[in-house]
Amino acid sequence: MNLFNILDTIEKADPEVYERIDSRRALFKNMAGFGSKVAMAALPLAVGTVFNKAYAGTRGKADTVVDILNYALTLEYLESSFYDDGLDSAVIPTNRRSIFTQISKHETAHVNFLKAVIGQLNGTPVDEPEFDFTAGGSYPTVFTDYNTFLALSQAFEDTGVRAYKGRAGELLGNRTVLTAALQIHSVEARHASMVRRLRNEKGWITGATGSPTAIYAGEDNKTQAGVDITSLGYSANASTEAFDEPLSKDQVIEIVTPFIVQ
Amino acid sequence: MKQKSSGVIPRAGEKSGILSPISRGKFLQYAGFSVAATGLVLVGCSDDDDGPGTVDLGSGDIGILNYAYLLEQLEAAFYENATANPYTDMSAAEKTVLEDIREHERAHRDFFKKALGTSAIAQATFDFSSIDFKSRASVLGAAKTFEDLGVSAYNGAGQLLKDANYLLAAGKIVSVEARHAAAIRDMLNAYSADFAGDDVVTASNGLDQAKDPSTVLAAAKPYVKTTVVITNLPS
């Protein structure tokens, strides 16, 4: 996919799209009706949070594709900034730096990619927020203690996987953006698996175990599309590990807000 | 013995395809549950009159789900072989990882089988004779191939689905396949960047691969004896 011809791609998929729309906002509503299917969940009431401003879209209306991409961009800014700070510090052992330079390279690339896509959709990328990776003092040693750094790295990667997963459904009908989102989502999962293994954890999530608990809430789900996986003969561990669960926008806001300077 | 149509829900391949009838005994062989002491690398017997058969994945969302089901069948059968016939000097930690992955792939496979019901394709037969199950490099190399391929398949198939519920189900699985891929790659070259190497994640944009069904199935073909008809899949 040529990112910089995304609108051409849209036109090729639906040649009459530009003939029947007269506004950019209508364009995205018209894409297979995905916007009309998504009711806007109750917006978090915290006034003035950067995250709200970033992606909250219009109160009472479904998020647009640009809103969703700005949500993703905010998360990528967070990860990118976290790894930049980590690599700038002495917290990562020399023999593990290549792992984190690779992850950092991807997060920076994701930031640039998402900004480009948003721009091509004639949207405005949100500005990078100011971050506090101590979360107001909860993690004072984030960049001095490797174990703390690793714990937060895992937290951000596992959250990222679940956050993308939680919004993919809203991209149904927009083939180009949905595919790109899936292609980022699986990279975050590779990152998560690797970081977990560095902590001597399994690459996959067992039950709802993990800290902070909000990140793993719901991961103990054993029922998929009405099918109880354990009824097929699999252990609870295998059943919960085999499927990663989505997080809603509100859940993600709650998880990341402590790391964003308001 | 002709397989009966449900009459209401079309059986995959009913329109144009052929589901080769197989006996229960052959089914169990194809599913890889019987493993000879010497190691079963050819899953499914080619000596009998039935042969490996043909499956038609079908059309629409059902076609895509059958496509995923086929790939999970492949992965499950591979890991069943790999864990039943551990390579030389497989460590306890490695055994745990491979057994975990095996259980995940089986759970994925059986989930699709259950969810598809009478629309599910039959169990395909596979050929792992090109893999040396005694060799760590060969087994993990094949595992890496299958996991990366699975990730690219799901990433490429998401856009072909119409139902958000199926997209969600596929989404829940693909990230686990990516976790597998990273773990296998880390086993092959520990503590390196290979878990998400530039060979699979494009450096310029940080995106993983996304491939269409015909590309994926062409890559899988060396391992799949069954003929897979994809002509009715969405595109």
CB pairs under 8 A between A and B: 192
CB contact under 8 A, A190 and B209: no
Q: What is the pLDDT, as a whole number, of residue B184?
A: 98
Q: Assess whether pLDDT exceeds 70 at residue A211.
A: yes
Q: CA separation (Å) from A9 to A15, A44, A176, B77, B182?
A: 10, 35, 8, 38, 31
Q: Note the pLDDT tens digit of each residue in A102-118.
A: 999 999 999 999 999 99
Contacts of residue A238 in chain B, CB cutoff 8 Å? 100, 103-104, 107
Token reading at A260: 């964003």
**B199 close to A (CB below 8 A):** no
Query: What CATH code would you report for A3-204+244-259?
Result: 1.20.1260.10
List CB contacts of B228: < 8 A, sequence separation 6 or more: B54, B55, B57, B70, B124, B217
Q: How far is CA B180 from the centre of its chain?
A: 13
pLDDT value at residue A227: 95
Q: pLDDT digits over A12-37, tens only?
A: 454 444 443 333 443 333 333 333 33
pLDDT of B11-70, one tens digit each?
A: 454 444 444 444 555 444 444 444 344 444 444 444 443 445 999 999 999 999 999 999
CA-nearest of B116, B108, B125 to B220 is B125
Q: Are A262 and A48 in contact (CB under 8 A)?
A: yes
Query: What pTM value is reported for the model?
Result: 0.81
Per residue in B166-222, pLDDT (tens digit) is 999 999 999 999 999 999 999 999 999 999 999 999 999 999 999 999 999 999 999
pLDDT at A153: 98
Q: Please give the class, per CATH, of domain B24-229.
A: mainly alpha
pLDDT at position A60 is 72
Report cis status (omega within 30 of 0) of the bond before B52: no
> Which residues in chain B (145-184) have CB-CB distances under 8 A to chain A?
151, 154-156, 158-159, 161-162, 164-169, 171-183
Contact B179 A190 (CB under 8 A): yes
Q: A138-153 burial by CB neighbour count: b if 16+ within 10 A, else e?
A: ebeebbeebebbbbbb
User: What count of other Cβ atoms lies within 10 Å of the Cβ of residue B162?
Assistant: 13
B100-129 pLDDT tens trace: 999 999 999 999 999 999 999 999 999 999
